[in-house]
């Protein structure tokens, strides 16, 4: 069914009173004024991205006589308006919006209301209303502009969710600590063996809390500096070797073999913050160790001087691939690559997009003996972003995962 709006009555009343369109760019109004081109005016308003409508009314008491005399394309699509002249409530029925419209129609005031539409897609709308001068036939007119504020609202909610998640993550080990303290004060007081075991568990839980708090603090520090370019020169190969030295005992304990291929000293140089690059290497290698079965191998590669395409070239056949972070490229950039490959269980395709989300853990990982904080990859991603680099993941279920971090070469 074609959307046709009765031409004659409505644009005339708008055109006669340019002062009511004060919010529009003045030259746009003048163009409309001078060439008197009605179709051009309609096309102009139709191409506005935000829904715009004009409501008319005569009787303040009869709520059913608020009529939509004009709606631009965005409004017709959003509110599924099929023809002009229909009642406003058929299109929008939220009481606060109707009140705001009435304020503009009969109070001559600017109105504002926000409303949410549930359903499959939750959306959050803000409606602004402005009084217009009455039409030639005496009907009162008001302008309605709707703006989609879903994104702003969603960010706000994510922040709140993050707080809730963080407190939840902290509460779990705390609850276990409190429980053991109670037991140690009670019937386990004189049982030396149980005491030892409980103290071991408590130390592990306290360690988990400490790790989580460390991660949260470094994440907030990294975010603070995310848009400040790092200074200083870092040799990625040297830093990675430092991390490998530190993690070697853990690898030996787990019976995991490390296969190391390093760029020559002084070749893999980048502009960066040494501590942060250390953290990236630490988190990636630590992750790889965690996912390796005893007797497995973790490969660590530092490659100097490659293009972005070479850095992102597939390293595993038949793998699910996803770029978690890509830098802006102008062309011709050279990168230093830090690649970490494990031969563990791999990660199913459906988990990949959410991997760098805070507190996201792949199912089944929660039972690991050394529980991660769920923040490791989020930290890696933010650090790499600060260094204008990229991060990609490849994984084959049952065969293992490869993380590739690439940073602009000095």
Partner 1 sequence: MTEQWVTVSGDLVEPLVAEVARLGGLAEAQIADCLDAISRRDVALAHAVVARDPKLDALQADIERRAIELIATRQPVGRELRRTVAALKIAMNLERCGDLARNIAKRSLILSESEPLTPLTRSIERLGRLVGARLKEVLDAYTGGEIEKAAGVWARDEEVDEHYNSLFRELLTYMMGDPRTITPGAHLLFIAKNLERIGDHATNIAEIIHFEVTGEEMTGERPKWDALQRRSEMLEGPLTSDRVQSMTREG
Kindly tell me which of 75 and 345 has the beta carbon lying closer to partner 1.
75
> x-or-dash pattern for partner 1, window 118-157, by CB under 8 A?
xxx-------------------------------------
- CA dist 129 and 259 (Å) reads 66
Instruction: Provide, rounded to whole angstroms, the least separation between the CB of residue 291 and partner 1.
Output: 30
DSSP 8-state symbol, 350 = G
- Which residues ranging from 78 to 107 are in contact with partner 1 (CB under 8 A)? 80, 82-83, 85-87, 89-96, 98
230 binds partner 1 (CB under 8 A): no
Compute the distance between CA of residue 102 and CA of residue 351 in angstroms, rounded to an integer.
49
Min. distance of Cβ 92 from partner 1 in angstroms? 8
Based on the shown chain and the rule CB under 8 A, indicate whether residue 159 belongs to the binding site for partner 1: no
1 binds partner 1 (CB under 8 A): yes
Q: How many CA atoms lie within 13 A of 280 on its CB side?
A: 34
Tokens 């992102």 locate to: 312
Q: Does 2 help bind partner 1 (rule: CB under 8 A)? A: no
C-alpha count within 13 angstroms, C-beta hemisphere, residue 312: 15
User: DSSP state, 347?
Assistant: -
Minimum CB separation from partner 1 for residue 310, in Å?
47
Closest CA relative to residue 344, chosen from 284, 273, 399: 399
Closest CA to 386 of 255, 208, 234, 184: 234
Least distance to partner 1 from the beta carbon of 108, Å?
Answer: 23
DSSP line for 105-147: HHS---EEEEEEE-SSS-EEEEEEEEEEPPPTTS-EEEEEEEE
- Tokens 């299109």, located at residue: 91
- Cβ 358 to partner 1 shortest distance, Å: 19
Does residue 62 belong to the site contacting partner 1 (CB under 8 A)?
yes
Number of residues that bind partner 1 (CB under 8 A): 26
112 binds partner 1 (CB under 8 A): no
Can you tell me which residue has the tokens 């009529």? 67
Minimal distance, residue 145 CB to partner 1, in Å: 19
Q: Confirm or reject binding of residue 185 to partner 1 (CB under 8 A).
A: no
- DSSP state, residue 14: H
Nearest approach, Cβ of residue 95 and partner 1 (Å): 5
**Interface residues toward partner 1, by CB under 8 A:** 1, 62-65, 67, 80, 82-83, 85-87, 89-96, 98, 116-120
């Amino acid at each position: 069914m074609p959307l046709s709006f009765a031409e004659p009555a409505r644009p005339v009343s708008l055109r006669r009173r340019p002062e009511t369109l004060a919010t529009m760019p003045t030259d746009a109004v003048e163009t409309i004024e001078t060439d008197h081109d009605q179709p051009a005016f309609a096309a102009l308003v139709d191409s506005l991205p935000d829904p715009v409508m004009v409501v008319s009314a005569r009787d303040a008491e009869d709520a059913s006589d608020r009529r939509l005399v004009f709606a631009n394309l965005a409004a017709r699509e959003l509110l599924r308006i099929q023809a002009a002249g229909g009642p406003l409530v058929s299109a929008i029925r939220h009481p606060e919006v109707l009140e705001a419209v009435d304020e503009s129609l009969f109070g001559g005031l600017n109105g504002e209301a926000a409303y949410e539409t549930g359903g499959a897609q939750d959306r959050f709308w803000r409606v602004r209303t402005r009084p217009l001068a009455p039409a030639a036939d005496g009907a009162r007119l008001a302008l309605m502009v709707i703006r989609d504020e879903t994104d702003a609202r969603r960010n706000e909610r994510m922040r709140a969710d993050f707080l809730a998640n963080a407190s939840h993550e902290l509460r779990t080990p705390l609850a276990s600590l409190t429980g053991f303290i109670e037991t140690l004060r009670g019937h386990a007081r004189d049982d030396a063996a149980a005491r030892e075991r409980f103290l071991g568990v408590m130390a592990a839980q306290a360690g988990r809390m400490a790790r989580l708090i460390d991660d949260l603090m470094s994440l907030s520090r990294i975010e603070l500096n995310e848009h400040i370019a790092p200074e200083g020169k870092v040799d990625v190969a040297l830093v990675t070797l430092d991390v490998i030295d530190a993690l070697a005992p853990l690898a030996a304990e787990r019976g995991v073999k490390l296969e190391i291929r390093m760029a020559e000293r002084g070749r893999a140089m980048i502009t960066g913050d040494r501590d942060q690059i250390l953290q990236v290497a630490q988190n990636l290698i630590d992750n790889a160790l965690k996912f390796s079965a005893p007797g497995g191998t973790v490969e660590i590669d530092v490659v100097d001087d490659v293009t972005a395409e070479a850095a992102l070239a597939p390293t595993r056949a038949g793998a699910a691939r996803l770029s978690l972070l890509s830098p802006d490229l102008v062309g011709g950039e050279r990168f230093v690559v830090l690649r970490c490959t494990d031969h563990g269980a791999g990660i199913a395709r459906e988990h990949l997009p959410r991997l760098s989300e805070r507190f996201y853990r792949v199912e089944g990982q929660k039972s690991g003996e050394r529980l991660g904080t769920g923040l490791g990859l989020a930290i890696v991603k933010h650090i790499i972003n600060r260094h204008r680099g990229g991060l990609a993941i490849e994984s084959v279920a049952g065969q293992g995962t490869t993380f590739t971090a690439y940073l602009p070469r000095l």
